[in-house]
Structure 1
Amino acid sequence: MTYLQALVLALLQGITEWLPISSSAHLILFPALVGWPDQGLGFDVAVHVGSLAAVMIYFRTDITAMARDWGRSVVTRRLEGEARLAWAVLLATIPVGLAGLAFKDVVEGAMRDPHVLAWALIGFGVLLWAADARGRRVRTERQLTWKDVVVIGFAQALALIPGTSRSGITMTAGLAVGWTREASARFSFLLAIPVIVLAGGLDVVDIIEGEARQPLPLLATGFLASAVSAYLCIWAFLAFIRRIGMGPFVLYRIALGGLLLAVF
Protein backbone atom coordinates (compact mmCIF):
# COMPACT_ATOMS: atom_id res chain seq x y z
CA MET A 1 0.00 0.00 0.00
CA THR A 2 0.99 3.60 -0.54
CA TYR A 3 0.17 6.39 1.88
CA LEU A 4 -2.37 7.78 -0.60
CA GLN A 5 -4.14 4.43 -0.72
CA ALA A 6 -4.09 4.22 3.07
CA LEU A 7 -5.54 7.72 3.40
CA VAL A 8 -8.32 7.13 0.88
CA LEU A 9 -9.35 3.78 2.36
CA ALA A 10 -9.25 5.15 5.91
CA LEU A 11 -11.47 8.10 4.98
CA LEU A 12 -13.81 5.73 3.16
CA GLN A 13 -14.08 3.45 6.18
CA GLY A 14 -14.46 6.29 8.67
CA ILE A 15 -17.40 7.73 6.74
CA THR A 16 -19.19 4.55 5.67
CA GLU A 17 -18.89 2.86 9.09
CA TRP A 18 -21.59 5.15 10.48
CA LEU A 19 -23.80 5.66 7.44
CA PRO A 20 -26.34 2.91 6.63
CA ILE A 21 -24.55 1.98 3.39
CA SER A 22 -22.13 -0.83 4.44
CA SER A 23 -18.48 -0.04 5.14
CA SER A 24 -17.46 -3.64 4.44
CA ALA A 25 -18.89 -3.44 0.93
CA HIS A 26 -16.88 -0.33 0.17
CA LEU A 27 -13.63 -1.70 1.66
CA ILE A 28 -14.00 -4.90 -0.36
CA LEU A 29 -15.08 -3.32 -3.63
CA PHE A 30 -13.16 -0.08 -3.94
CA PRO A 31 -9.65 -1.63 -3.99
CA ALA A 32 -10.87 -4.27 -6.44
CA LEU A 33 -12.43 -1.72 -8.82
CA VAL A 34 -9.37 0.56 -8.94
CA GLY A 35 -6.83 -2.26 -8.99
CA TRP A 36 -5.27 -1.64 -5.57
CA PRO A 37 -3.80 -4.52 -3.57
CA ASP A 38 -5.79 -5.91 -0.67
CA GLN A 39 -5.08 -3.73 2.33
CA GLY A 40 -4.67 -6.66 4.71
CA LEU A 41 -6.23 -7.52 8.03
CA GLY A 42 -3.85 -5.37 10.05
CA PHE A 43 -4.91 -2.22 8.23
CA ASP A 44 -8.60 -3.13 8.61
CA VAL A 45 -8.09 -3.41 12.37
CA ALA A 46 -6.29 -0.04 12.49
CA VAL A 47 -9.07 1.87 10.71
CA HIS A 48 -11.77 0.19 12.78
CA VAL A 49 -9.94 1.15 15.98
CA GLY A 50 -9.91 4.71 14.62
CA SER A 51 -13.68 4.57 14.19
CA LEU A 52 -13.98 3.14 17.71
CA ALA A 53 -11.95 6.03 19.12
CA ALA A 54 -14.21 8.51 17.31
CA VAL A 55 -17.47 7.13 18.70
CA MET A 56 -16.06 6.85 22.22
CA ILE A 57 -14.89 10.47 22.14
CA TYR A 58 -18.19 11.70 20.71
CA PHE A 59 -20.29 9.84 23.30
CA ARG A 60 -17.77 10.14 26.14
CA THR A 61 -20.27 11.71 28.55
CA ASP A 62 -22.91 9.05 27.88
CA ILE A 63 -20.38 6.22 28.07
CA THR A 64 -19.00 7.47 31.39
CA ALA A 65 -22.51 7.63 32.87
CA MET A 66 -23.42 4.22 31.46
CA ALA A 67 -20.28 2.58 32.86
CA ARG A 68 -20.80 4.18 36.28
CA ASP A 69 -24.48 3.26 36.55
CA TRP A 70 -23.91 -0.23 35.11
CA GLY A 71 -21.30 -0.94 37.79
CA ARG A 72 -23.67 0.34 40.45
CA SER A 73 -26.49 -1.86 39.11
CA VAL A 74 -24.33 -4.96 39.43
CA VAL A 75 -23.99 -4.24 43.14
CA THR A 76 -27.47 -2.91 43.95
CA ARG A 77 -29.41 -4.92 41.32
CA ARG A 78 -31.38 -1.79 40.49
CA LEU A 79 -31.58 -0.16 37.05
CA GLU A 80 -31.01 3.48 37.85
CA GLY A 81 -29.70 6.29 35.66
CA GLU A 82 -28.09 4.94 32.49
CA ALA A 83 -27.82 1.35 33.74
CA ARG A 84 -30.80 0.22 31.65
CA LEU A 85 -29.22 1.59 28.47
CA ALA A 86 -25.86 0.01 29.33
CA TRP A 87 -27.42 -3.41 29.87
CA ALA A 88 -29.37 -3.01 26.63
CA VAL A 89 -26.15 -2.41 24.67
CA LEU A 90 -24.48 -5.43 26.24
CA LEU A 91 -27.43 -7.79 25.76
CA ALA A 92 -28.05 -6.67 22.18
CA THR A 93 -24.44 -7.58 21.37
CA ILE A 94 -24.80 -11.25 22.34
CA PRO A 95 -26.52 -12.49 19.13
CA VAL A 96 -23.94 -10.99 16.76
CA GLY A 97 -21.09 -12.21 18.99
CA LEU A 98 -22.35 -15.81 18.92
CA ALA A 99 -23.14 -15.65 15.20
CA GLY A 100 -19.71 -14.20 14.48
CA LEU A 101 -17.97 -17.07 16.25
CA ALA A 102 -20.16 -19.66 14.55
CA PHE A 103 -20.03 -18.33 10.99
CA LYS A 104 -16.70 -16.42 10.86
CA ASP A 105 -15.15 -18.63 8.17
CA VAL A 106 -18.26 -18.56 5.98
CA VAL A 107 -18.62 -14.79 6.24
CA GLU A 108 -14.96 -14.18 5.39
CA GLY A 109 -15.00 -16.70 2.57
CA ALA A 110 -17.95 -17.61 0.37
CA MET A 111 -20.09 -14.64 1.38
CA ARG A 112 -17.55 -12.04 0.19
CA ASP A 113 -19.04 -12.40 -3.27
CA PRO A 114 -20.09 -9.35 -5.35
CA HIS A 115 -23.55 -10.83 -5.92
CA VAL A 116 -24.10 -11.31 -2.18
CA LEU A 117 -22.98 -7.71 -1.62
CA ALA A 118 -25.28 -6.42 -4.34
CA TRP A 119 -28.43 -8.15 -3.19
CA ALA A 120 -27.74 -7.34 0.47
CA LEU A 121 -27.32 -3.66 -0.43
CA ILE A 122 -30.59 -3.63 -2.34
CA GLY A 123 -32.69 -5.88 -0.10
CA PHE A 124 -31.75 -4.37 3.22
CA GLY A 125 -31.95 -0.92 1.65
CA VAL A 126 -35.60 -1.55 0.82
CA LEU A 127 -36.18 -2.72 4.41
CA LEU A 128 -34.61 0.51 5.68
CA TRP A 129 -36.93 2.56 3.48
CA ALA A 130 -39.99 0.61 4.69
CA ALA A 131 -39.05 1.00 8.35
CA ASP A 132 -38.41 4.72 7.91
CA ALA A 133 -41.66 5.25 6.02
CA ARG A 134 -43.93 3.16 8.24
CA GLY A 135 -42.26 3.52 11.65
CA ARG A 136 -44.09 5.55 14.28
CA ARG A 137 -40.90 7.39 15.37
CA VAL A 138 -42.28 8.35 18.80
CA ARG A 139 -39.85 6.81 21.34
CA THR A 140 -36.19 7.32 22.21
CA GLU A 141 -33.56 4.79 23.23
CA ARG A 142 -34.14 5.73 26.89
CA GLN A 143 -37.74 4.50 26.54
CA LEU A 144 -36.64 1.09 25.28
CA THR A 145 -38.28 -2.19 26.22
CA TRP A 146 -36.51 -5.53 26.48
CA LYS A 147 -38.48 -6.62 23.41
CA ASP A 148 -36.79 -3.76 21.51
CA VAL A 149 -33.40 -5.04 22.67
CA VAL A 150 -34.14 -8.56 21.42
CA VAL A 151 -35.34 -7.32 18.01
CA ILE A 152 -32.36 -5.00 17.50
CA GLY A 153 -29.90 -7.56 18.83
CA PHE A 154 -30.99 -10.31 16.45
CA ALA A 155 -31.20 -7.82 13.59
CA GLN A 156 -27.59 -6.84 14.23
CA ALA A 157 -26.52 -10.46 13.70
CA LEU A 158 -27.63 -10.09 10.06
CA ALA A 159 -24.86 -7.51 9.61
CA LEU A 160 -22.43 -10.42 9.25
CA ILE A 161 -23.75 -10.70 5.70
CA PRO A 162 -21.45 -8.45 3.63
CA GLY A 163 -23.35 -5.49 2.22
CA THR A 164 -25.99 -5.45 4.98
CA SER A 165 -24.45 -2.59 7.01
CA ARG A 166 -24.36 -3.00 10.78
CA SER A 167 -25.49 0.57 11.34
CA GLY A 168 -28.13 0.23 8.63
CA ILE A 169 -29.77 -2.93 9.97
CA THR A 170 -29.78 -1.71 13.59
CA MET A 171 -31.29 1.62 12.55
CA THR A 172 -33.88 -0.31 10.53
CA ALA A 173 -34.79 -2.36 13.59
CA GLY A 174 -34.93 0.74 15.80
CA LEU A 175 -37.28 2.48 13.38
CA ALA A 176 -39.39 -0.68 13.07
CA VAL A 177 -40.03 -0.82 16.84
CA GLY A 178 -41.10 2.82 16.92
CA TRP A 179 -37.95 4.76 17.76
CA THR A 180 -37.10 8.14 16.28
CA ARG A 181 -34.40 8.42 13.65
CA GLU A 182 -32.02 10.11 16.07
CA ALA A 183 -32.61 7.49 18.77
CA SER A 184 -32.10 4.64 16.31
CA ALA A 185 -28.84 6.20 15.15
CA ARG A 186 -27.52 6.92 18.65
CA PHE A 187 -28.23 3.39 19.87
CA SER A 188 -26.68 1.96 16.71
CA PHE A 189 -23.51 3.97 17.31
CA LEU A 190 -23.30 2.86 20.96
CA LEU A 191 -23.83 -0.75 19.86
CA ALA A 192 -20.80 -0.43 17.60
CA ILE A 193 -18.44 -0.15 20.58
CA PRO A 194 -18.61 -3.76 21.87
CA VAL A 195 -18.99 -5.11 18.33
CA ILE A 196 -15.79 -3.43 17.10
CA VAL A 197 -13.96 -4.56 20.24
CA LEU A 198 -15.07 -8.18 19.73
CA ALA A 199 -14.35 -8.22 16.00
CA GLY A 200 -11.01 -6.52 16.50
CA GLY A 201 -10.07 -9.09 19.13
CA LEU A 202 -10.73 -11.95 16.73
CA ASP A 203 -8.75 -10.21 13.99
CA VAL A 204 -5.80 -9.62 16.32
CA VAL A 205 -5.68 -13.37 16.97
CA ASP A 206 -5.49 -13.97 13.20
CA ILE A 207 -2.73 -11.36 12.86
CA ILE A 208 -0.67 -12.99 15.63
CA GLU A 209 -1.11 -16.37 13.93
CA GLY A 210 0.54 -15.14 10.76
CA GLU A 211 -1.32 -12.35 8.95
CA ALA A 212 1.14 -10.04 7.13
CA ARG A 213 1.62 -6.70 8.87
CA GLN A 214 1.69 -3.26 7.31
CA PRO A 215 4.38 -0.76 8.45
CA LEU A 216 3.47 1.07 11.65
CA PRO A 217 3.46 4.60 10.06
CA LEU A 218 0.97 3.33 7.46
CA LEU A 219 -1.29 1.92 10.18
CA ALA A 220 -1.03 5.21 12.11
CA THR A 221 -2.12 7.11 8.99
CA GLY A 222 -5.14 4.86 8.63
CA PHE A 223 -6.02 5.17 12.31
CA LEU A 224 -5.89 8.97 12.39
CA ALA A 225 -7.72 9.50 9.09
CA SER A 226 -10.43 7.05 10.08
CA ALA A 227 -10.85 8.64 13.53
CA VAL A 228 -11.20 12.19 12.20
CA SER A 229 -13.55 11.31 9.35
CA ALA A 230 -15.65 9.05 11.59
CA TYR A 231 -16.09 11.77 14.23
CA LEU A 232 -17.19 14.32 11.63
CA CYS A 233 -19.54 11.81 10.05
CA ILE A 234 -21.22 10.98 13.37
CA TRP A 235 -21.70 14.68 14.10
CA ALA A 236 -23.14 15.45 10.65
CA PHE A 237 -25.41 12.40 10.57
CA LEU A 238 -26.98 13.10 13.95
CA ALA A 239 -27.33 16.80 13.11
CA PHE A 240 -29.20 16.28 9.85
CA ILE A 241 -30.91 12.86 9.99
CA ARG A 242 -34.25 14.26 11.17
CA ARG A 243 -34.47 16.48 8.10
CA ILE A 244 -32.95 14.30 5.39
CA GLY A 245 -34.41 10.95 6.47
CA MET A 246 -33.16 7.63 5.13
CA GLY A 247 -34.22 8.16 1.51
CA PRO A 248 -30.84 9.30 0.12
CA PHE A 249 -29.06 6.33 1.67
CA VAL A 250 -31.65 3.88 0.35
CA LEU A 251 -31.26 5.27 -3.18
CA TYR A 252 -27.48 5.06 -2.89
CA ARG A 253 -27.66 1.43 -1.75
CA ILE A 254 -29.93 0.45 -4.61
CA ALA A 255 -27.77 2.28 -7.16
CA LEU A 256 -24.57 0.68 -5.83
CA GLY A 257 -26.16 -2.75 -5.76
CA GLY A 258 -27.39 -2.31 -9.34
CA LEU A 259 -23.92 -1.23 -10.44
CA LEU A 260 -22.39 -4.35 -8.87
CA LEU A 261 -24.87 -6.60 -10.65
CA ALA A 262 -24.10 -4.88 -13.93
CA VAL A 263 -20.32 -5.10 -13.51
CA PHE A 264 -20.11 -8.63 -12.08
Structure 2
Amino acid sequence: MLLADIWYPNWWQALILGMVQGLTEFIPISSTAHLRVFPALVGWPDAGASFTAVIQLGSLLAVLIYFASDLRQLLLASWNAWQKRDFHQEAWRLLVGILVGTLPIVVVGLAIKVIWGSPPRQLWVIAAAAIGLALLLGWAEQTGKRERDVHSLGIWDGIWVGLAQTLALIPGVSRSGATITAGLFLNLQRSVAARYSFLLGIPALFLAGGLEFISDFEVEALLSQAVGTVSAFVFSYLSIDWLLQFLQRSSTWLFIFYRIGFGLFIVLGLTLGFLRP
Protein backbone atom coordinates (compact mmCIF):
# COMPACT_ATOMS: atom_id res chain seq x y z
CA MET A 1 0.00 0.00 0.00
CA LEU A 2 1.32 3.43 -0.91
CA LEU A 3 1.70 6.00 1.85
CA ALA A 4 -0.83 8.22 0.11
CA ASP A 5 -3.39 5.42 0.31
CA ILE A 6 -3.15 5.10 4.10
CA TRP A 7 -6.07 6.65 5.99
CA TYR A 8 -5.48 8.25 9.38
CA PRO A 9 -8.65 8.85 11.43
CA ASN A 10 -9.05 12.31 12.95
CA TRP A 11 -9.24 12.71 16.73
CA TRP A 12 -12.98 12.09 17.14
CA GLN A 13 -12.95 9.14 14.75
CA ALA A 14 -10.01 7.70 16.70
CA LEU A 15 -11.95 8.28 19.93
CA ILE A 16 -14.87 6.22 18.60
CA LEU A 17 -12.63 3.50 17.17
CA GLY A 18 -10.85 3.29 20.52
CA MET A 19 -14.21 2.88 22.22
CA VAL A 20 -15.10 0.04 19.83
CA GLN A 21 -11.70 -1.56 20.49
CA GLY A 22 -12.05 -1.28 24.26
CA LEU A 23 -15.59 -2.61 24.44
CA THR A 24 -14.84 -5.64 22.24
CA GLU A 25 -11.22 -6.64 23.00
CA PHE A 26 -11.91 -8.79 26.05
CA ILE A 27 -15.53 -9.69 25.39
CA PRO A 28 -15.41 -12.77 23.10
CA ILE A 29 -16.90 -11.08 20.03
CA SER A 30 -13.70 -9.93 18.21
CA SER A 31 -12.42 -6.37 18.38
CA THR A 32 -10.72 -6.69 14.99
CA ALA A 33 -14.00 -7.68 13.34
CA HIS A 34 -15.87 -4.73 14.84
CA LEU A 35 -13.08 -2.31 13.92
CA ARG A 36 -13.44 -3.56 10.36
CA VAL A 37 -17.24 -3.62 10.16
CA PHE A 38 -18.08 -0.40 12.03
CA PRO A 39 -16.13 1.92 9.69
CA ALA A 40 -17.66 0.13 6.70
CA LEU A 41 -21.15 0.82 8.07
CA VAL A 42 -20.55 4.55 8.63
CA GLY A 43 -18.62 5.05 5.40
CA TRP A 44 -15.11 5.39 6.82
CA PRO A 45 -12.08 3.70 5.24
CA ASP A 46 -10.51 0.74 7.01
CA ALA A 47 -7.95 2.06 9.50
CA GLY A 48 -5.91 -1.10 8.93
CA ALA A 49 -4.25 -3.77 11.03
CA SER A 50 -1.46 -1.45 12.22
CA PHE A 51 -3.80 1.13 13.77
CA THR A 52 -5.79 -1.67 15.39
CA ALA A 53 -2.67 -3.26 16.88
CA VAL A 54 -1.32 0.04 18.23
CA ILE A 55 -4.51 1.09 20.04
CA GLN A 56 -4.58 -2.38 21.60
CA LEU A 57 -1.79 -1.02 23.81
CA GLY A 58 -4.56 0.85 25.62
CA SER A 59 -6.27 -2.48 26.27
CA LEU A 60 -2.94 -3.86 27.51
CA LEU A 61 -2.57 -0.98 29.98
CA ALA A 62 -6.09 -1.65 31.25
CA VAL A 63 -5.21 -5.30 31.96
CA LEU A 64 -1.98 -4.33 33.71
CA ILE A 65 -3.76 -1.86 35.99
CA TYR A 66 -6.82 -4.04 36.64
CA PHE A 67 -4.70 -7.06 37.57
CA ALA A 68 -1.80 -5.12 39.11
CA SER A 69 -2.15 -6.84 42.48
CA ASP A 70 -2.46 -10.31 40.94
CA LEU A 71 0.53 -9.72 38.67
CA ARG A 72 2.68 -8.44 41.51
CA GLN A 73 1.89 -11.50 43.63
CA LEU A 74 2.48 -13.80 40.65
CA LEU A 75 5.90 -12.32 39.89
CA LEU A 76 7.03 -12.25 43.53
CA ALA A 77 5.90 -15.83 44.15
CA SER A 78 7.53 -16.99 40.92
CA TRP A 79 10.79 -15.28 41.85
CA ASN A 80 10.63 -16.98 45.25
CA ALA A 81 10.05 -20.35 43.54
CA TRP A 82 13.01 -19.72 41.24
CA GLN A 83 15.32 -18.91 44.15
CA LYS A 84 14.26 -22.06 45.99
CA ARG A 85 14.27 -24.10 42.75
CA ASP A 86 10.75 -25.18 43.72
CA PHE A 87 9.24 -25.47 40.24
CA HIS A 88 6.09 -27.18 41.47
CA GLN A 89 4.72 -24.00 43.05
CA GLU A 90 1.40 -22.82 41.64
CA ALA A 91 2.68 -19.34 40.75
CA TRP A 92 5.67 -20.72 38.85
CA ARG A 93 3.52 -23.12 36.83
CA LEU A 94 1.11 -20.30 36.00
CA LEU A 95 3.86 -17.90 34.91
CA VAL A 96 5.63 -20.49 32.76
CA GLY A 97 2.28 -21.48 31.25
CA ILE A 98 1.64 -17.87 30.24
CA LEU A 99 5.12 -17.44 28.74
CA VAL A 100 5.10 -20.75 26.89
CA GLY A 101 1.53 -20.14 25.75
CA THR A 102 2.64 -16.89 24.14
CA LEU A 103 5.17 -18.57 21.84
CA PRO A 104 2.71 -19.99 19.27
CA ILE A 105 1.07 -16.65 18.45
CA VAL A 106 4.47 -14.93 18.31
CA VAL A 107 5.88 -17.47 15.85
CA VAL A 108 2.77 -17.63 13.66
CA GLY A 109 2.21 -13.87 13.84
CA LEU A 110 5.77 -13.11 12.74
CA ALA A 111 5.49 -15.64 9.92
CA ILE A 112 2.32 -13.95 8.66
CA LYS A 113 3.96 -10.52 8.98
CA VAL A 114 6.99 -11.62 6.94
CA ILE A 115 5.12 -13.61 4.29
CA TRP A 116 1.85 -11.72 3.80
CA GLY A 117 2.29 -8.45 5.69
CA SER A 118 -1.02 -8.75 7.55
CA PRO A 119 -3.84 -11.28 7.93
CA PRO A 120 -6.81 -11.12 5.51
CA ARG A 121 -9.42 -8.52 6.54
CA GLN A 122 -12.14 -9.34 4.00
CA LEU A 123 -15.63 -9.27 5.47
CA TRP A 124 -16.44 -12.75 4.14
CA VAL A 125 -13.55 -14.09 6.22
CA ILE A 126 -14.75 -12.20 9.30
CA ALA A 127 -18.31 -13.49 8.90
CA ALA A 128 -17.15 -17.10 8.59
CA ALA A 129 -14.80 -16.75 11.57
CA ALA A 130 -17.49 -15.10 13.73
CA ILE A 131 -19.94 -17.94 13.14
CA GLY A 132 -17.32 -20.69 13.27
CA LEU A 133 -15.96 -19.63 16.67
CA ALA A 134 -19.52 -19.22 17.95
CA LEU A 135 -20.19 -22.88 17.18
CA LEU A 136 -16.96 -23.93 18.92
CA LEU A 137 -17.78 -21.79 21.95
CA GLY A 138 -21.26 -23.33 22.07
CA TRP A 139 -19.73 -26.80 21.99
CA ALA A 140 -17.34 -25.88 24.81
CA GLU A 141 -20.18 -24.38 26.83
CA GLN A 142 -22.16 -27.59 26.47
CA THR A 143 -19.37 -30.08 27.16
CA GLY A 144 -17.05 -28.23 29.57
CA LYS A 145 -17.45 -29.35 33.18
CA ARG A 146 -16.38 -25.99 34.67
CA GLU A 147 -14.93 -27.68 37.75
CA ARG A 148 -11.36 -26.33 37.75
CA ASP A 149 -10.36 -23.15 39.56
CA VAL A 150 -7.30 -20.91 39.24
CA HIS A 151 -5.25 -23.09 41.59
CA SER A 152 -5.31 -25.98 39.11
CA LEU A 153 -3.73 -24.06 36.23
CA GLY A 154 -0.47 -25.45 34.93
CA ILE A 155 2.01 -25.33 32.08
CA TRP A 156 0.00 -27.59 29.78
CA ASP A 157 -3.03 -25.32 30.15
CA GLY A 158 -0.85 -22.47 28.89
CA ILE A 159 0.29 -24.52 25.92
CA TRP A 160 -3.20 -25.58 24.84
CA VAL A 161 -4.77 -22.15 25.40
CA GLY A 162 -1.76 -20.54 23.71
CA LEU A 163 -2.24 -22.72 20.64
CA ALA A 164 -5.89 -21.69 20.56
CA GLN A 165 -4.81 -18.04 20.79
CA THR A 166 -3.14 -18.29 17.37
CA LEU A 167 -6.61 -18.59 15.83
CA ALA A 168 -7.11 -14.94 16.80
CA LEU A 169 -4.80 -14.00 13.95
CA ILE A 170 -7.82 -14.66 11.74
CA PRO A 171 -10.00 -11.51 11.96
CA GLY A 172 -13.38 -12.35 13.42
CA VAL A 173 -12.19 -15.18 15.66
CA SER A 174 -11.43 -13.04 18.75
CA ARG A 175 -8.40 -13.64 20.93
CA SER A 176 -10.48 -13.74 24.09
CA GLY A 177 -13.09 -15.88 22.33
CA ALA A 178 -10.52 -18.49 21.26
CA THR A 179 -8.79 -18.61 24.64
CA ILE A 180 -11.99 -18.69 26.70
CA THR A 181 -13.29 -21.48 24.44
CA ALA A 182 -10.08 -23.45 25.01
CA GLY A 183 -10.36 -22.84 28.75
CA LEU A 184 -13.90 -24.20 28.81
CA PHE A 185 -12.79 -27.29 26.87
CA LEU A 186 -10.15 -27.73 29.60
CA ASN A 187 -12.97 -27.70 32.18
CA LEU A 188 -12.08 -24.32 33.68
CA GLN A 189 -14.75 -22.27 35.39
CA ARG A 190 -16.02 -19.49 33.13
CA SER A 191 -14.58 -16.60 35.15
CA VAL A 192 -11.26 -18.45 35.55
CA ALA A 193 -11.09 -19.06 31.79
CA ALA A 194 -11.69 -15.33 31.22
CA ARG A 195 -9.11 -14.26 33.81
CA TYR A 196 -6.54 -16.65 32.30
CA SER A 197 -7.38 -15.28 28.86
CA PHE A 198 -6.63 -11.74 30.08
CA LEU A 199 -3.28 -12.74 31.62
CA LEU A 200 -2.24 -14.77 28.57
CA GLY A 201 -3.07 -11.79 26.37
CA ILE A 202 -0.60 -9.45 28.08
CA PRO A 203 2.54 -10.55 26.17
CA ALA A 204 0.61 -10.92 22.89
CA LEU A 205 -0.91 -7.43 23.08
CA PHE A 206 2.44 -5.90 24.04
CA LEU A 207 4.36 -7.57 21.23
CA ALA A 208 1.72 -6.92 18.56
CA GLY A 209 1.17 -3.28 19.48
CA GLY A 210 4.84 -2.50 20.01
CA LEU A 211 5.93 -4.16 16.76
CA GLU A 212 3.32 -2.35 14.68
CA PHE A 213 4.08 1.02 16.31
CA ILE A 214 7.79 0.69 15.59
CA SER A 215 7.57 -0.86 12.12
CA ASP A 216 4.86 1.48 10.79
CA PHE A 217 5.74 4.66 12.69
CA GLU A 218 4.37 7.79 11.03
CA VAL A 219 4.25 11.23 12.62
CA GLU A 220 0.89 11.88 10.91
CA ALA A 221 -0.63 8.96 12.78
CA LEU A 222 0.53 9.91 16.29
CA LEU A 223 -2.51 12.00 17.28
CA SER A 224 -5.06 9.42 16.14
CA GLN A 225 -3.06 6.58 17.71
CA ALA A 226 -2.76 8.45 21.01
CA VAL A 227 -6.46 9.33 21.19
CA GLY A 228 -7.48 5.81 20.14
CA THR A 229 -5.16 4.25 22.71
CA VAL A 230 -6.49 6.37 25.59
CA SER A 231 -10.09 5.66 24.56
CA ALA A 232 -9.32 1.93 24.28
CA PHE A 233 -7.80 1.97 27.78
CA VAL A 234 -10.89 3.49 29.41
CA PHE A 235 -13.40 1.21 27.74
CA SER A 236 -11.20 -1.89 28.07
CA TYR A 237 -11.01 -1.40 31.83
CA LEU A 238 -14.79 -1.13 32.05
CA SER A 239 -15.34 -4.18 29.85
CA ILE A 240 -12.91 -6.35 31.87
CA ASP A 241 -14.74 -5.55 35.09
CA TRP A 242 -18.14 -6.17 33.50
CA LEU A 243 -17.17 -9.47 31.86
CA LEU A 244 -15.67 -11.01 35.00
CA GLN A 245 -18.80 -10.16 36.99
CA PHE A 246 -21.07 -11.38 34.19
CA LEU A 247 -19.34 -14.77 33.84
CA GLN A 248 -19.57 -15.39 37.59
CA ARG A 249 -23.36 -15.59 37.27
CA SER A 250 -24.08 -16.28 33.58
CA SER A 251 -23.03 -18.50 30.67
CA THR A 252 -21.42 -17.49 27.39
CA TRP A 253 -24.58 -18.09 25.33
CA LEU A 254 -25.19 -14.35 25.01
CA PHE A 255 -21.91 -14.01 23.11
CA ILE A 256 -22.55 -17.15 21.07
CA PHE A 257 -25.88 -15.85 19.79
CA TYR A 258 -24.41 -12.39 19.23
CA ARG A 259 -21.55 -13.81 17.15
CA ILE A 260 -23.93 -15.81 14.98
CA GLY A 261 -26.16 -12.77 14.49
CA PHE A 262 -23.14 -10.57 13.76
CA GLY A 263 -21.83 -13.02 11.17
CA LEU A 264 -25.22 -13.32 9.49
CA PHE A 265 -25.54 -9.52 9.48
CA ILE A 266 -22.24 -9.26 7.59
CA VAL A 267 -23.39 -11.90 5.09
CA LEU A 268 -26.65 -10.00 4.60
CA GLY A 269 -24.79 -6.70 4.18
CA LEU A 270 -22.46 -8.17 1.59
CA THR A 271 -25.37 -9.81 -0.25
CA LEU A 272 -27.51 -6.68 -0.32
CA GLY A 273 -24.58 -4.39 -1.00
CA PHE A 274 -24.62 -2.05 2.00
CA LEU A 275 -21.25 -3.53 3.06
CA ARG A 276 -18.27 -3.82 0.73
CA PRO A 277 -15.96 -6.86 0.97
Same fold (TM over 0.5): yes
Q: 1:242 aligns with which of 226, 232, 248?
A: 248
| Offset at residue 257 of structure 1 (A) | 0.7
1:76 aligns with 2:116: no
SS at match of 2:121: coil
Please tell me whether the aligned partners of residues 85 and 141 of structure 1 are also in contact (alpha carbons under 8 angstroms): no
1:175 aligns with 2:180: no
Q: Distance in 2 between matches of 1:40 and 1:103?
A: 15
Please tell me whether the aligned partners of residues 107 and 162 of structure 1 are also in contact (alpha carbons under 8 angstroms): no
Aligned residues: 260
Q: In 2 relative to 1, CA 129–40 (structure 1 residues): closer, same or farther, beyond 3 Å? A: closer
- Give 1:139's aligned residue: 148
Q: Distance in 2 between matches of 1:132 and 1:11?
A: 28
Matched residue type, 1:214: A
The TM-score with structure 1 as length reference comes to: 0.91
Task: Give % identity.
Answer: 41
CA deviations on 1:169-210 (whole Å, 9 max, x unpaired) are 1000000011000100000000110001111232123224xx
Matched residue type, 2:256: V
1:150 aligns with 2:156: no
Please tell me whether the aligned partners of residues 22 and 233 of structure 2 are also in contact (alpha carbons under 8 angstroms): yes
The TM-score with structure 2 as length reference comes to: 0.87
- Give 2:21's aligned residue: 13
- Give 1:256's aligned residue: 262
SS at match of 1:214: helix
Q: In 2 relative to 1, CA 107–163 (structure 1 residues): closer, same or farther, beyond 3 Å? A: farther
Q: 1:202 aligns with which of 203, 211, 215?
A: 211
CA deviations on 1:38-59 (whole Å, 9 max, x unpaired) are 3356643442111111111100
Matches within 5 A, 1:1-264: 1-39=9-47, 43-79=51-87, 80=89, 82-104=91-113, 105-106=115-116, 108-109=118-119, 111-208=120-217, 211=218, 213-216=220-223, 218-264=224-270
Q: In 2 relative to 1, CA 168–107 (structure 1 residues): closer, same or farther, beyond 3 Å? A: farther
Matched residue type, 1:108: S
Q: Distance in 2 between matches of 1:72 and 1:126?
A: 42
Q: In 2 relative to 1, CA 177–141 (structure 1 residues): closer, same or farther, beyond 3 Å? A: same
Which range moved further: 40-49 or 237-246? 40-49
SS at match of 1:6: helix
Q: In 2 relative to 1, CA 195–215 (structure 1 residues): closer, same or farther, beyond 3 Å? A: closer
CA deviations on 1:53-102 (whole Å, 9 max, x unpaired) are 11111000111112222333344332335222111111111111111111
Matched residue type, 2:228: G
Matched residue type, 1:256: F
Matched residue type, 1:255: G
CA deviations on 1:7-39 (whole Å, 9 max, x unpaired) are 111111001000000101111221122111333
Please tell me whether the aligned partners of residues 129 and 170 of structure 2 are also in contact (alpha carbons under 8 angstroms): yes
Q: Distance in 1 between matches of 2:136 and 2:176?
A: 13
Consecutive unaligned residues of structure 1, counting only runs of 5 or more, are none
